[in-house]
Amino acid sequence: MSTTEDLIGRADINDIDAILSISNTDVDEVVHVVKDNADAIFSWDYSLARPALRKLYEKAKTGQWNGTTDLPWDTAVDQEAVVVANQLAAQSGLGADPAIFIGSPVEKWDERQWIDFGIQSQNWTLSQFMHGEQGALLCTAKITETVPWYDAKLYASTQVVDEARHVEVFQRYLDEKLSGHYPINAHLKMLLDDIVNDSRWDMTYLGMQIMVEGLALAAFGFMHQMTTEPLLKQLLRYVMSDEARHVAFGVLSLKEVYEGMNAAEIRERQEFAFEAAVRMRDRFLQQEVWERMGIKPKDIIPFVLQDPTRAIFQQMLFSKIVPNCKKLGLLDAADGWLRQRFTELGVIQFEDWVDTGEEYGTFALDAEPAS
């Protein structure tokens, strides 16, 4: 049985010094190599063995869209105006309550400095979305290669196309509409490395389809509701229609697999889910943005953590992950070990929300956007 320190390198999941000690030390890196310890598996069984996956495959074929022609790229985007409008629309925003930052290095920041921070924050957020989508591109190519089921290979191949399209549209939005890129966040990079490096195909599913894609689906939904910028709103709507299928793919596949695993194997999956959850939570501290604004993250993060709006946002990011883990039987196996960990993270309240295996159809482009 692994301890919290064994899994994430610290005994206290909220140890700020330990979290901030993990940083990207090679920001100029262009090519990043990770050992892919997996066997390519051919399947000569072409029977329709898993109708739910075949249904998902049919949905994917009819749900394709073209990132070049289906989005209004001629839309003019005034990034500064968008940042201000978003903050007003949310009726809150970082720095909206000056009391939170009394005694902090940003206590006397003026409106211009907060707008600049908002611009950098948007650049950072979209950059991390782009990097995460490339991680999904590689992982889904690996799933196509390693999953032993024919129906799953068919669906995974459609997701490879989806992920390529997602990287494309986020990269184009960053280059044409925003004002700069950020390198990959160290916590996200560590997680993607672990997912690619693991030799077990179901771990690639769990790490990417359930954890990374589950959080992305919630984050895209939050931003889709908040943003006032029409091009980004439509871009996110299209991406969400794909992401819901991707998460459902993980739920439908892993439920069958986990039902046949023993207690020790399930505990390993629980621990991996917990580690992934912590790493994804930690990356949203945006330490790279604070550094670019000339503020030492260690001096400001304790104040940021007092912002109740931020706490609610961070919890909502797990609104897809928790019910999906429950659907897979991971919450309550091993005497509820993962339930306890998600309780400590403050996200267990989402356990009875609908799982993505049931709701993915509501995200289709011909359906009303899910809230």
What's the mean pLDDT when you consider all of the chain? 92
The yes-or-no verdict on residue 297 having pLDDT over 90 is: yes
Per-residue pLDDT tens digits for 49-98: 999 999 999 999 999 999 999 999 999 999 999 999 877 765 544 445 66
118 in any annotated domain = yes
Is residue 115 included in any domain, yes or no? yes
CA distance 291 to 297: 7
pLDDT band for 313, please (50, 70, 90 cuts): confident
Model pLDDT, residue 354: 92
- Enter the pTM of the model: 0.93
In a domain, 84, yes or no: no
Q: What whole-number percentage of the chain has pLDDT above 70?
A: 96
Q: Which of 273-277, 290-294, 315-319 is predicted least confidently?
A: 315-319
pLDDT at residue 90, as a whole number: 58
The answer on pLDDT for 370 being more than 50 is no
pLDDT classification of 148: cutoffs 50, 70, 90: very high
Give the range of the structural domain holding residue 125, as residue numbers without chain letter.
106-363
At 157 the pLDDT is 98
The answer, yes or no, to whether residue 134 has pLDDT greater than 50, is yes
Is 302 part of any domain? yes
Higher pLDDT, 347 or 14: 347
CATH number (domain holding residue 352)? 1.20.1260.10
Amino acid at site 314: Q
How large is the average pLDDT for residues 93-121?
A: 84
Percent of the chain with pLDDT over 90: 75
Question: Per the domain annotation, does 325 fall within a domain?
Answer: yes
C-beta of residue 314 within 8 angstroms of C-beta of residue 284: yes
- Tens-digit pLDDT profile for residues 200-224: 999 999 999 999 999 999 999 999 9
More confident position, 169 or 2: 169
Q: Report the number of distinct structural domains present in the chain.
A: 1
With respect to residue 188, please indicate whether it lies within any of the assigned structural domains: yes
Question: What's the average model confidence in pLDDT over 329-355?
Answer: 93
Kindly state whether residue 220 falls inside one of the protein's structural domains: yes
pLDDT higher than 90, residue 25: no
Q: 12 lies in a domain?
A: no
